[in-house]
Amino acid sequence: MGQNIRLIRKARGLTQENLAAGLGVTFQQLQKYEKAANRVSCSMLIRICEQLGAHPMDILPPVNGVAHPLTDTPLYRDAQIVHLAQPRLLPELRRLSRAQLHTLLLAARAFA
């Protein structure tokens, strides 16, 4: 879990100090969470998710070493990377019509 907190924090461009301040803990305490030296309580997990704009499933480790089938796919991982880098992008894209998405894709390909 700690490694996932660290990855999401870094993807959001936050330092340990920034996130710790938002959580109301010291950066040393956050370091302990990220290194799995201290247990993360349920209430702290919720606060971390709120601060990072993440879903608990993004932070919690796989159950019995097995990832959820949906989340263990390249498409899901790519979407997660996009969401971490630009949290508002996917909701905005969902609002577009098929024709608008097609036009956007053509424009993106022109820049590639």
Q: Give the count of domains, the chain.
A: 2
CA dihedral 27, 51, 21, 81 (to 10 degrees): 50
Q: Which of 59, 82, 97 is the last residue of a domain?
A: 59
Q: What percent of the chain has pLDDT over 70?
A: 89
**Are residue 9 and residue 52 in the same domain, yes or no?**
yes
The pLDDT assigned to 109 comes to 92
pTM: 0.59
Residue 34 lies in a domain: yes
What 8-state DSSP symbol labels residue 4?
Answer: H
Contact 80, 54 (CB under 8 A): no
Least confidently predicted of 7-21, 36-50, 58-72? 58-72
Q: What is the mean pLDDT of the chain?
A: 87
**Which residues span the domain enclosing 45?**
2-59
Residue 94 lies in a domain: yes
φ, ψ at 70 (rounded to 5°): -70, -40
Give the tokens for residue 45.
């997990």
Residue 87 lies in a domain: yes
Q: In terms of Cα–Cα distance, which of 7, 92, 21 is closest to 51?
A: 21
Q: Is pLDDT above 70 for 67?
A: no
Give the whole-angstrom CA distance, residue 31 versus residue 19: 11
Long-range CB pairs of 28-33 (<8 Å, 24+ gap) are 33/1, 33/2, 33/5
φ, ψ at 39 (rounded to 5°): -75, 140
